[in-house]
Amino acid sequence: MNGAELTALYLEEVKRSGVRPTELCDDSHLASEDIRNFYSGKLLTRPLFLGGPEWQQLQTDLANLRSALVRLPDRLYGGDLAAFARDIGMTEVQVSAILRSRAAEVTRQFRADMYADRTGFKVLELNLGSAIGGIDASDLCHMMLQHPVLAEFARTHRLGYGDTMRGQVTDMFVETGFPRDRRPVMATTDWPSSFETLEPFMRHFTGRLRDLGIDAYPCHIKQLELRDGRVWLGDKPVDIIQRLFMLEDLLDNPEAAAMMDPVLDAVARGEVRIFTPMDAELFASKGALAMLSDEQSRAKCTPEELASLDRILPWTRMIRPGPATLEDGWVEDLVDYAISHQHDLALKPTSLHGGEGVLLGWRPEVDRETWEERVRAAVDGPYVVQRRIRPVPELFPSDEGDPTPWLVTWGVFSMVEGYTGVYARAMPVESDVEVVTFRAGAYSTGCLHVLPD
């Protein structure tokens, strides 16, 4: 049984039971007041559903996508990570940070933000490393399963969920090298400008990590001190820095390098371990996806990688003058093609997040002159064009009557142990919002999947 069939059955069950759908997102079952406040009034009325073959295919495709992605510097640049970083739009200060905080192996923790169209899942962007939201998706699933209607439906159809919280803890131990019988001290470290807003959520999050075997404490980077060959948070010597600050923070503040450099130097000297190193975001760049989509890279991929890329990676190109190969093998001048195919393309900055800077060519408010001006201004800059994906809306129960259609971004997690669940954000179709972000007012939910035999 696939996700669409499970959804139809569940909608019928909700209707038959007579339960008010908003009862299914009763946030009183969430673990703390901080997390209830974070999601207040912004939870969807059901989880998403995936059949066994669907999530198993996703697991395979995302593993192959990561395999092809992290091999780009070796396959195309002879291992020169700095050259790779510059070509996908990183500044010199970002390149320096990447090289000084580089892991022996690129993290396996990532979230692929995807749309589901009529042919399957398609990647919009990737988020690699520790600075990604939605790790508490398993807590949302646990909350919703407290309702007897959903709990019985899950029992009947053998549904469970990926434990994203435990999955991340496993990643932390594996990728930092600490044995599981240790309780390392971890500073969950944000950027000063966002810490004030995120601190309540971070308090909840670090409390959950302490429940799971890591002594984690929230802070921002200026609260860390370096002395006596260690990194300290107050009177606590820090074993691991969980990095929530990002490469893009280096572009926002002239003092950013001065704040970040001492921490990265301590990592380089082995005085503290970092989860995850800065190179994670290099592979999260949409410029890296564009390079992976290009024919030069595809020629070096394995057959298994190509099969997965063809399923889930839409045509994506850095905005550069010269020819580009289309999906059907036809070659066009890229800039001319992008301008003349406005209604089938999105223009995106390579390394910003949360929909910032995205221009959707098909939107009625984007006239031809604006589109052409923005495309030409993006040439040789840190921008990509990406083929439009037309997602199939998901239906959610409504207290007002018939189920309502929502536009859903599936944030599919892959970690050391493989597929680890979904953190979904959604907007009502009637809202006419197509860049689904918290800033736009998105609602959240998790995902239940058919358990393996």
| Per-residue pLDDT, 394 | 97
| Per-residue pLDDT, 49 | 98
| Per-residue pLDDT, 35 | 63
**CA 85 – CA 294 distance, rounded (Å):** 16
**Angle CA(200)–CA(202)–CA(203) in degrees, nearest 5?**
65
What b/e readout covers 254-277, taking b as 16+ CB neighbours within 10 angstroms?
eebeebbeebbebbeeebbbbbbb
- Report pLDDT digits (tens) over 300-340: 999 999 999 999 999 999 999 999 999 999 999 999 999 99
List domains and CATH numbers for the chain.
3-284+392-415+422-450 (no CATH), 315-387 (3.30.1490)
Mean pLDDT of 398-421: 94
| Per-residue pLDDT, 406 | 97
Locate all alpha helices (DSSP H) within 177-243, ordered by sequence: 192-211
- Report pLDDT digits (tens) over 117-141: 999 999 999 999 998 989 989 989 9
pTM, two decimal places? 0.94
Indicate whether 56 pLDDT > 90.
yes
Least confident of 11-25, 55-69, 102-116, 370-384: 11-25
**CA 350 – CA 385 distance, rounded (Å):** 10
Q: How does the average pLDDT of the chain come out, rounded?
A: 92
Neighbours of 200 (CB within 10 A): 16
Task: Identify the sign of the CA torsion 141, 145, 150, 151.
Answer: positive
* Burial class of residue 8 (count of CB atoms within 10 Å of its CB; 0-12, 13-18, 19+): middle
User: How many CA atoms does the CB half-sphere of 133 hold within 13 Å?
Assistant: 14
